[in-house]
Amino acid sequence: MILNRKYKALLAGTFTLLIVMGLSRFAYTPIFPMMQRELGFTDQFAGFLASINYAGYLLGSVFAGYWNWKNSRASSLKIYLIINSLSIVLMGISENYTLWYFLRFIAGLTAGIIFVLISSIIMDYLTEKKMTHLTGFFYAGVGTGIFFGGISVPYLADFFGWKGTWYGVGALAFLLTYFVSRWVPDEKNTVNSAPAKVETMENKEHKQISLPWLIIAYTAEGIGYIISGTFLVAIVSNIPGFNSHSASLSWAFVGLAAAPSCILWVRLADHFGKIPMLKLAYIIQIFGISLPLVFQNNIGAFLGALLFGGTFMGITTLSIATAKILFPENSSRIIGQLTFFYAGGQIIGPIVAGYLTKSTGNYNSSIIFASIILVIGVISLTLGERRKA
């Protein structure tokens, strides 16, 4: 079956997120415990290495949100995808910590730019084609990438070591970049067409929160979720009975739940409203990240991974969709602003978790910290929610 142009455009968006989020960012989660065992670096260093990636992501999102791309979004996207894929491959060429910092920063910087560009391109395209009901399929690329990473990383590591694992992940990124470069919508189809008329009813129904409260909640999500997003495999590895393969499998469970979750949360939001579903997603995520602490067994590891995976991309999808409804006239800028604060949270989370883990000797305090921050997110959504007249 030959895909038509509309679905190729959607797949271009899905593949892009698979590369920069599922592979470039989150392949680090199952790979770093293997690197750590062989090279002996600390959890604190692992946290700093994650945070430098998110610092780059923050700067990239700011740049992308405020740069005047004019008619160059699609062509710029292709260039940054090549740089991002190259940064993955080069992680395996050296054991130099300074080089790793540089490469993870570049990976984050390009990912931040790419995320804003592809989100604005695809969201505008889906709005123009009256296909916004497919938004969840677009964001499913993150979970799909996480799933492939969780499944493939242990086997790549067995045959090729941690260096070869980076090469393998990078090769997949380059392959998908080829398809994205062919299928991404032309700029003439993705100009920021104001979707005011198309989304009038949605605007009326869901415009229930002010942007500052949404930003506070999304920043809390950035802090809270990234602790599990960075240390989940390491946390599960410390549960009795788990080895490197079974611990990495928990990460595959995250991806397995994340891939269809965006579709589910979009449909639920259509029926019950975006803000109520956002609050529900935060609450479920709190339970998900806490389960490995409460139940140190298969239930805690795998059910916790499913609940975590089933919520974090749903929160991203609904938060960005809500922000775009609030300010439909400039999708790149509003997505860039929201991503900036989210990325700021992602810098804070791993650093704090690294210090807490070092001082206590375990991950319990980090999980408790993440849960408290996510509760603040729920409170922010509740305080900021506007009552209908």
Closest CA to 258 of 140, 153, 134: 140
Q: What is the mean predicted confidence (pLDDT) over 213-227?
A: 93
Q: What percent of the chain has pLDDT over 70?
A: 90
Res 77 pLDDT > 50: yes
Q: What percent of the chain has pLDDT over 90?
A: 36
CATH homologous superfamily, domain 5-384: MFS general substrate transporter like domains (1.20.1250.20)
* Higher pLDDT among residues 157 and 377, named by residue: 377
What number of H helices and E strands is found in the chain?
Answer: 14, 0
Tell me phi and psi for residue 209, to 5 degrees.
-140, 145
Question: Would you place residue 387 in the very low, low, confident or very high pLDDT band (cuts 50, 70, 90)?
Answer: very low
Residue pair 21/115 in contact by the 8 Å Cβ criterion: yes
Tell me phi and psi for residue 326, to 5 degrees.
-65, -35
User: pLDDT tens across 287-325, in order?
Assistant: 999 998 888 888 888 899 999 999 998 999 899 888 878
Segments making up each domain of the chain, as ranges = 5-384
200 residue type, one letter: T
255-to-21, 163, 214, 388 alpha-carbon distances in Å? 11, 23, 25, 36
Q: What pLDDT is recorded for position 373?
A: 96
Which residues lie below 8 Å from residue 35, measured CB to CB, with a gap of 6+? 41, 162
User: pLDDT tens across 131-140, in order?
Assistant: 877 888 888 8
Query: What's the token pair of residue 206?
Result: 């869901």
Question: Would you place residue 116 in the very low, low, confident or very high pLDDT band (cuts 50, 70, 90)?
Answer: confident
